């Protein structure tokens, strides 16, 4: 319950913090803190132009993508506070919801008949496929570590006791951070501010969306960022701290997450397209490190 409230709240500020960090680090005044909110609310009211090539898929897909993220958020707990939806093995559901969102956005892009959007769609599907193993390895590792299979129980029972486990958590947080960057099509895999269609991934998929749908897509991105923020914050919530303390910690972690994203985007160049798969494979290999650390921690693998 708290996590969904936090996600909604932080999604409102997340892009603001990122933009502010970027403008400060590049020495600009930059857009106002609430500019993205104004953008979205303006878009939600605006009329739309729909491509004559497109069909009902084009109308449906943004809504499906939006719903998948909202529902995925419902599975996220907040420390030992349970999530709204939870059952055994719901880590799988969480990942597959995001995959469903991707599926709908990919065919939506193909629906416009534009070759640019086909290109973006193809990249989106490819990167999404490549990033999934990292997520599942982490989820599986945590299941091994805690002996539970739902996000609720995993985060309730994940106590960081030793130095090794802190190291593991650090790796995991890094991987989740990068998964968030890939899933939300940010640097270094994709640059949301690029102006050349040939180098876009996500931006080129939504080239033809306008009005309410575009607003909804932008809102989806903010929500998905905040969702990964809460996921990462869950690593930093010790069970003995009172609830208000946890909320404070979570807000701090998410603000930090946004600042890190902003700094990454300011100081890092984007990868060449051909290097992206390699970059994402690196995430998988770090996730494998986490997995073996967990095997050692649980005394399955005795060295």
Partner 1 sequence: MTITFILATVISAAMAALTVAWSVPVLMSGQAATFAYGPAIFSIDPLTAFMVVLINIGVLLGMVYGISYLKPYASKSFMEALVHALAMVALHGSMLAVTMVRDMVSLLIMWEIMSMSSFLLVLFEGEKTRTRRVALSYFIQMHVGAFFLLLATMILAGKTGSYTFDAMGEFYAHSPSWTLFLPLFLGFGMKAGFLPLHTWLPHAHPAAPSHVSGIMSGVMIKLGIYGILRTILYLSGDQSMLGVAILTVGIVTGLYAILQAIVRNDLKRLLAYSSVENIGLLGISIGMAVLGTSIHNDVIATLGWTAVLLHMVHHMLFKVVLFQSVGNIYAATRTRNLNELGGLVKRMPNTVTVFILGALAICGLPPMNGFVSEFLMYAASIEGMKNSGAYFSIVNFFVLITLCLIGGLAIIAFTKAIGVGMLGEPRTEHARNAVERPWFMRLPQQVAIGMMIVMAVLPQFMVAAMSAVIRTFVPQCDAVLVSLTPTLTSLGIFNASLVGAVGLVLLLRKIATRSAQRRMGPTWGCGFTAADARLQYTSTTFADSTVQLISPVVRVHVQMHALRQADVFPHARAYHTDVVDVIEESMIEPPIAGIAFVLRRLAVFHTGSMRTYILYAFVFIIAIAVVTIMGVI
Positions 67 through 96 that interact with partner 1 (CB under 8 A): 67-68, 70-71, 85, 87-89, 91-93, 95-96
Question: Per DSSP, what are the bridge partners of residue 81?
Answer: 78
CA distances (Å), 230 to each of 217, 235, 290, in order?
20, 9, 20
| Residue 289 near partner 1 by CB under 8 A | no
- Binding mask 99-128 toward partner 1 (x if CB under 8 A, else -) reads xx-xx--xx-xxxxxxxxxxx-xxx-xx-x
Pick the binder of partner 1 from 19, 54, 83, 152 (CB under 8 A).
54
Residue with tokens 């050349």: 196
What's the token pair of residue 139? 């989820």
Judge residue 205's burial from the number of C-beta atoms within 10 Å of its C-beta, 0-12 exposed, 13-18 middle, 19 or more buried: buried
Pick the binder of partner 1 from 39, 80, 157, 197 (CB under 8 A).
197
- Binding mask 203-242 toward partner 1 (x if CB under 8 A, else -) reads ----xx--xxx--x--------------------------
Pick the binder of partner 1 from 60, 84, 255, 256 (CB under 8 A).
60
What's the token pair of residue 36? 């993205």
Q: Please, what is the minimum distance in Å from the beta carbon of residue 276 to partner 1?
A: 9
Could you give the CA distance from residue 205 to residue 247 in angstroms, rounded to a whole number? 36
Pick the binder of partner 1 from 4, 6, 73, 137 (CB under 8 A).
137
Determine contact, residues 166/176, Cβ cutoff 8 Å.
Answer: no
CB-hemisphere CA count at 13 Å for 176?
Answer: 24
Q: Give the residue with the Cβ less far from partner 1, 23 or 165.
A: 165
Binding positions for partner 1, 235-274, rule CB under 8 A: 274
């Amino acid at each position: 319950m708290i996590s969904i409230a936090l996600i909604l709240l932080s999604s409102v500020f997340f892009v603001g913090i990122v933009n502010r960090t970027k403008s400060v680090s590049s020495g600009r005044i930059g857009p106002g803190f609430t500019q993205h909110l104004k953008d979205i609310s303006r878009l939600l009211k605006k009329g739309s132009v729909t491509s004559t090539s497109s069909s009902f898929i084009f109308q449906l897909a943004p809504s499906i993508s939006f719903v998948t993220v909202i529902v995925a958020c419902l599975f996220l707990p907040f420390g030992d506070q349970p999530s709204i939806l939870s059952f055994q093995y719901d880590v799988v559901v969480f990942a597959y919801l995001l995959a469903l969102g991707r599926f709908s956005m990919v065919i939506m892009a193909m629906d416009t008949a534009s070759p640019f959007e086909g290109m973006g769609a193809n990249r989106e599907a490819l990167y999404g496929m490549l990033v999934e193993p990292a997520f599942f390895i982490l989820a599986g590792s945590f299941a091994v570590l805690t002996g539970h299979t739902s996000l609720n129980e995993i985060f309730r029972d994940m106590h960081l006791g030793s130095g090794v486990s802190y190291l593991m958590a650090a790796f995991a947080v890094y991987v989740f951070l990068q998964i968030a960057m890939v899933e939300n099509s940010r640097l270094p895999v994709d640059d949301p501010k690029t102006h050349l269609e040939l180098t876009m991934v996500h931006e080129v998929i939504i080239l033809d969306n306008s009005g309410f749908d575009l607003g909804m897509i932008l809102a989806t991105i903010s929500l998905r960022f905040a969702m990964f923020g809460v996921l990462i914050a869950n690593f930093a919530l010790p069970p003995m701290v009172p609830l208000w303390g946890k909320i404070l910690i979570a807000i701090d972690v998410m603000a930090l997450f946004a600042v890190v994203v902003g700094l990454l985007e300011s100081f890092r160049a984007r990868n060449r397209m051909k290097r992206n798969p390699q970059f994402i494979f690196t995430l998988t290999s770090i996730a494998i490190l986490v997995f073996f650390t967990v095997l050692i921690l649980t005394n399955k693998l005795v060295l």
